[in-house]
Structure 1
Amino acid sequence: MTTIDWKKEVASRKDDLLNDLVELLKVKSEREDDKATADAPFGPGPKNALIHMLGYGERDGFTVKNVDNYAGHIEYGEGDETLGIFCHMDVVPAGDGWDTDPYQPVIKDNKIYARGSSDDKGPSVAAYYGLKIIKELGLPLSKKIRFVVGSDEESGWGDMDYYFQHEEKPDFGFSPDAEFPIINGEKGNVTVTLHFENTNDGDFELQSFDAGLRVNMVPGNATAVFKAAGDISLEELATAYTDFLNENGLAGELEAEGDLVKVDLIGKSAHGASPQSGVNAGTFLALFLDRYPFGGGAKSFLHTAATYVHVDHYGEKLGVAHTDPRMGQLTMNAGLLKFGEDFEDNYITLNFRYPTGVTADGLVEKITETVGADGAKVDREERDSAPHYVPMEDPLVETLLAVYEDHTGEKGYEQVIGGGTFGRLLERGVAYGAMFPGYTDTMHQANEFMSLDDLFNAAVIYADAIYRLAK
């Protein structure tokens, strides 16, 4: 039996791997619906990053297919079964608070900083190099390997919907888009939206309220503009706001713009699957404004956010809290809070990651009972990803854990997460790395980074894992 020194193989390609990653990270691949075309369904950035990644496969002599700039794949080997590896090139918006340009990668302290470095371009390139090593060594395989590249994972998964209308699903596989030792369970994922009338009939008039970039991100910034009437002076408002910020350890400012008052608040963005890791600027700002005499739909909007949504990471105030022994707690992220004439709708989005024992329709029913009397109308998105689980005794899970244990010396164990990965696209699909236990999670945050040691060690594990699964 041939023994392969996977660590040595990765070490000999470190410079090439890092150079490829740097060039890929320079592609600003945020979804931009206002720039979408038939040729660029999610905007130019995701298309360009998809083409860039597929270009590595063409350069290295793989069989490559681009499926109408929605998604594509890089293939190698032959066999009756297909191993799928699913990655994505799109990223969430960079947002504010970066120390460096998020699309000009910077290497410092043995880390690479850029949007997408850990989610998911860094892990994707590490997995790709695992496949590249197998090809360059000419190792014998009994299965086909398909490296699938998506471009809409951070939004609606429209890339995979389209891709699988044209391509068959692999038989089993993994996504390098989470943590080691393995993610063999993922909570359900659905977004519920609270709608409000665009009306004002109080002494204070809410002109606009804007917080959040995506449903799956904790809003890091919030801004509101309003008219203040009655006996409350600008000085009183400014003093009250300063006190509020100090009491809550927050930053922001309040200023007059003619007869309008503009107020900004800075929180902390985080991944929507872990809302407790962030500071929701939108709900904090609503909490401050809810003390004043707004009326109509504006009051309903602010009061709902402040009373039922603020710091309610587990749905307790909404009456939907639930814990499953295996999958853990339901979590909720208020990702978008929008009010005013600048928006087609006035709404708050609630992104739920829910365990077994909860249904999307059940969420809508209970939330309606809770907030309906306060003027909110409740509905949910059509897409609903049910909870997903692959048993520990499945050969896929057993093999991946064995590879992890062999290369780290650490015992593998199962994990269930709130984040949704492409691993759930397959009945026998899991997420596998590339983050190691104890890592600092900067996904969807400013100053996102990936440790270079983790990047190269993940490539070692991916190379061995792909080979064991496909040989």
Structure 2
Amino acid sequence: MTIDWKKEVEARKDDLISDLEALLRVKSEREDDKVTPDAPFGPGPRDALKKMLSFGERDGFVVKNVDNYAGHIEFGSGEETLGIFGHMDVVPAGDGWDSDPYEPVIKDNKIYARGSSDDKGPSMAAYYGMKIIKELGLPLSKKVRFVVGSDEESGWGDMDYYFQHEEKPDFGFSPDAEFPIINGEKGNISLLAHFKTTNDGTYTLNSFKSGLRPNMVPGSATAVVELPAESDFADFEAALTAFTDEHPVTATLSKSGKTVTIELVGKSAHGAHPSAGINAGTFLALFLDHFAFAGGAKNFLHVAGAYMHEDFDGTKLGVAYRDEKMGELTMNASLFNFEKNATDASINMNFRYPQGTTAEKLEAGLAETIGAYDVTTTREPHHMLPHYVPVDDPLVATLLSVYEDHTGQKGYEQIIGGGTFGRLLERGVAYGAMFPGFTDTMHQANEFMDLDDLFNSAVIFADAIYRLAK
């Protein structure tokens, strides 16, 4: 049977866009201060999950909501289950948008909104692939289950809970990356560097805040500093102006007596690609490290400014490592927190590491290089080991074949630093929805998805699901 998948997607383009716009309007940022038994990650992720599941109910699929942690949309029958994994939660919108991040705007054949490319747009494209197969009544020999998550951008607590109650699919993919395929993902761990808050220098660091999530390059940073005297303000202001003239950041400065507040702006980016951003936290630390702070405050600023600043591969921290297949380790200094009267200050270092090194080796390297600054490290609980599915696995081979048939381009394996739900399964990969040469706006202001990419990915997903499950 020959099916014109492109024609089928064309017939449903308006409905696809309408459903996607409804999903994008849900502000599905995790909000821990609004968690309830009914909303385990806050109301936004819950509402987006329920919205996505409602499409499955409308279209006649078997739908299950697992206590608002996650859910699934399913059809077909058979002994094996093909899993498709998407997520409805998004990273915080942050600043710098040209439009409301939760009111989708279509401009220049692109749809702009938080979540448009990560991961609501790709998820909707994959869902419509399932929908086409169901509506055409095509025969399947396997179950097809779209698993919908709501905590992918944070701790994956959604999947931990879901798989306590539901069996894992046998194989599958996550539409949360790029084509031709992602069949390998680096390990992912966050290590916290802990500092004392002693603060007896000529200058006093009252507070230092930067970052929104471990998987985001901080786009802004704020510090409150007490100067030795109010008369030192002019020199401090001149030094800040000279610094911003020399570096790719902007800053604003305000004062109240001897106390000054510095707000510095860089550029956010995905934490898997720290060199694509301008880390406002390390730049602000680099600036302040030139002043006469002391104790824990000095150590905090010096380690951030001298060791973490633009240390994208961990060389200055003494943990650099490269694997021939998986490439280089990357490090993103992501969350900075210093309060003068607190018992502890910390900086979150998010590492994406290849096979061949380990969390233990990272901790040992950090102890050797920054331990002298009275630094201790602890691990965050969410730790993912390196993951790889061989290119000759039938799953990978089939998905590459589908990609080649629809694009005319040769498929090839890829290994990334990002972590996707594809790694939930031993035979799991990430597949689409971005095409080679795409502009990466994930985790950035003015996130968008190209509409041609959206529709073309739906074509590929439909054919891929059918070939894997027919």
TM-score interval, normalised by the smaller of the two chains: over 0.9
SS in 2 for 1:386: coil
The question of whether the paired residues in 2 share the 8 Å contact of 1:90 and 1:152 is answered with: yes
The residue aligned with 2:182 is: 183
| TM-score normalised according to structure 2 size | 0.99
**Structure 1 match to 2:193:** 194
Alignment pair present for 1:74 and 2:73: yes
Q: 2:18 — aligned with what? A: 19
Counterpart CA distance in 1 for 2:254 and 2:54 is 50
Residue pairs, 1:151-300, within 5 angstroms = 151-229=150-228, 233-300=232-299
State the shift of 1:297 in Å. Answer: 1.1
Determine the structure 1 residue equivalent to 2:332.
333
CA distance in 1, matches of 2:84, 2:39: 23
Amino acid at match of 1:322: Y
- Measured in 1, the distance between the counterparts of 2:146 and 2:182 equals 19
Provide the C-alpha distance between the structure 2 equivalents of 1:265 and 1:120, rounded to a whole number of angstroms.
Answer: 29
- Whether the 8 Å contact between 2:321 and 2:357 is mirrored in structure 1 is yes
8 Å Cα contact 2:335-2:347 kept in structure 1: yes
Cα offset for 1:324?
0.3
**4+ runs of 1 displaced by more than 6 Å?**
none
2:436 is paired with a residue of what secondary structure?
coil
Q: 1:327·1:355 contact (CA, 8 Å) conserved in 2?
A: yes
The aligned runs of 1:35-74 (5 Å cut-off) are 35-74=34-73
1:387 aligns with 2:386: yes
Distance of 1:74 and 1:51 partners within structure 2: 11
SS of alignment partner, residue 333 of structure 2: strand
Cα distance in 2 for partners of 1:415, 1:423 equals 13
Query: In the alignment, what sits opposite 1:437?
Result: 436
Shift of 1:362: 1.4
Q: 1:156 deviation in Å?
A: 0.3
Q: Counterparts of 1:140 and 1:344 in 2: how far apart (Å)?
A: 62
Write the distance in 2 (CA, Å) between the matches of 1:38 and 1:362. Answer: 39
Question: Within 1, Cα distance between the matches of 2:270 and 2:386?
Answer: 19
CA 1:221/1:343 → structure 2, altered by over 3 Å: closer, same or farther? farther
Moved more, 419-428 or 380-389: 380-389
2:86–2:176 Cα contact (<8 Å) kept: yes
What is the CA distance between 1:361 and its match in structure 2? 1.5
Q: Aligned letter for 1:351?
A: N
Could you tell me whether the CA contact under 8 Å between 2:86 and 2:123 is conserved in 1? Answer: yes
**1:380 Cα offset (Å):** 1.1
Is the deviation greater in 102-111 or in 371-380? 371-380
Q: Partners in 2 of 1:149 and 1:71 — Cα distance?
A: 6
SS in 2 for 1:369: helix
Q: Would the alpha carbon gap of residues 232 and 327 (structure 1) be closer, same or farther in structure 2, given more than 3 Å must change?
A: farther
Q: Secondary structure at the match of 2:338?
A: strand
Following superposition, the deviation at residue 232 of structure 1 comes to 6.5
CA RMSD of aligned residues (A): 1.1
How far 1:381 moved relative to its partner? Answer: 1.6
Structure 1, gaps ≥5 residues long: none
SS of match in other structure, 2:196: coil
Q: Measure the CA separation in 1 of the matches of 2:390 and 2:225.
A: 53
Deviation at 1:223, TM superposition (A): 0.5
CA deviation after TM superposition for structure 1 residue 258, in Å = 2.9
- For the pair 1:427 / 2:426, whether they are aligned, the reply is yes
Counterpart secondary structure, 2:135:
helix
Q: TM-score, normalised by structure 1?
A: 0.99
1:53 CA drift (Å): 0.2
Single out whichever of 455-464 and 224-233 deviates more from structure 2: 224-233
Counterpart in the other structure of 2:403: 404
Q: CA deviation at 1:231?
A: 9.0
Partner of 1:233, secondary structure, is helix
- Partners of 2:80 and 2:419 lie apart in 1 by 25
Distance 2:230 2:365 in 1: 40
1:383 Cα deviation after fit: 2.7
User: How many residues of Structure 1 are paired with residues of Structure 2 in the alignment?
Assistant: 470
Deviations 1:75-123 (A, max 9, x none): 0000000000000000000000000000000000000000000000000
Distance in 2 (CA, whole Å) between partners of 1:341 and 1:36 is 29
How far residue 345 of structure 1 moved from its aligned partner, in angstroms, is 4.1
